[in-house]
């Protein structure tokens, strides 16, 4: 029995893989589109019901998980190669990309003019600078090494992009704003104003995405427990100073707590509604 036809091969494969986890085998035939066929028509009602749910939300994490669980490389589908920039844009929204561009631009400017010059413009407010309101947030754009900026931007793209795509630019903006402010304030108590980086917001996103996914799977955002464990281990590494790295530990912990608190509030509101 012919079930449906997709123009997107990834969507076709995702649904086939998901149905395989339910014990129902579908076949894909490629002509002008990607046609799904069911050999055992006794399961047609279940397949049609699942198809309706899939069409409403094809990007739900359960379909990606199904491909990891039941997918194979022998489906007959051949994907066209895509560029790196196209892959980045597909996962990230305008706010995610804008922050990445600003961080890169500031990093390049720091290499040209020197760190002290740019920090004198953007760093956390020192004595007499507290009315320069942008400083309470722009410290997040400062990065001091290639490894530093790559680490933060990869996590920002991976987590921030997911939040923006699933929950909207407004939610990502609020998470970034609150985490940058509170993590910067706490870090300034420990190290003064000589710090910077997006890691406070990154840790907030880690905490938010992980707990929101655990408590509210329908939100569509989640972080694997293994990656969350890595984040916690990295916190311990920072406090133990095993590698002699200058790590903003207070900002990391504060950001993580901010993200967990926001996820707790949002997941409770989602359950009430």
Q: Which residues are catalytic?
A: 199, 252
In this structure, the dihedral spanned by the alpha carbons of residues 150, 10, 52 and 212, taken in order and rounded to 10 degrees, is -20
The rounded distance, in Å, linking the Cα atoms of 117 and 134 is: 16
CB 13 within 8 A of CB 74: no
> Which three-class secondary structure state does DSSP give residue 148?
helix
Buried b (16+ CB within 10 A) or exposed e, 146-175: eebbebbbebbbbbbbbbbbbbeeebbeeb
C-alpha dihedral sign at 9, 15, 17, 20: negative
Distance CA 127, CA 109 (A): 25
Phi, psi of 114 (to 5 degrees): 100, 150
Characterize the bridge pairing of strands 26-30 and 34-38: antiparallel
Q: For the chain, give me the number of helices (H) and strands (E)? A: 13, 3
* Contacts for 264 with CB less than 8 Å, ≥ 6 apart: 211, 215
Token digits of residue 100: 């990445």
Which residues is 4 bridged to in the sheet?
36
């Amino acid at each position: 029995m012919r079930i449906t036809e997709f123009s997107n091969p990834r969507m076709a494969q995702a649904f086939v893989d998901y149905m395989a986890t339910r014990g129902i085998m579908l076949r894909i035939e490629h002509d002008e589109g990607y046609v799904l066929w069911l050999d055992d028509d006794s399961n047609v009602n279940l397949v049609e019901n699942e198809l309706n749910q899939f069409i409403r939300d094809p990007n739900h994490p359960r379909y990606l998980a199904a491909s990891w669980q039941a997918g194979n490389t022998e489906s007959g589908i051949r994907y066209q190669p895509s560029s790196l920039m196209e892959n980045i844009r597909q996962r990230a929204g305008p706010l995610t990309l804008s922050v990445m561009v600003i961080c890169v631009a500031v990093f390049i400017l720091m290499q040209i003019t020197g760190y002290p010059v740019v920090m004198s413009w953007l760093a956390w407010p020192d004595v007499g600078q507290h009315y320069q309101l942008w400083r309470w947030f722009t410290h997040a754009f400062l990065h001091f090494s290639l490894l530093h900026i790559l680490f933060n931007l990869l996590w920002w793209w991976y987590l921030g992009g997911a939040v923006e795509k699933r929950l909207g630019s407004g939610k990502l903006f609020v998470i970034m704003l609150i985490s940058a402010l509170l993590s910067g304030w706490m870090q300034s108590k420990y190290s003064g104003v000589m710090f910077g980086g997006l890691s406070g917001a990154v840790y907030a996103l880690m905490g938010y995405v992980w707990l929101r996914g655990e408590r509210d799977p329908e939100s569509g955002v989640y972080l694997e427990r293994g990656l969350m464990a890595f984040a916690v281990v990295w916190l311990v590494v920072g406090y133990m100073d095993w590698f002699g790295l200058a790590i903003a530990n207070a900002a990391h912990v504060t950001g993580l707590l901010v993200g967990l608190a926001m996820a707790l509030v949002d997941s409770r509101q989602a359950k009430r509604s």
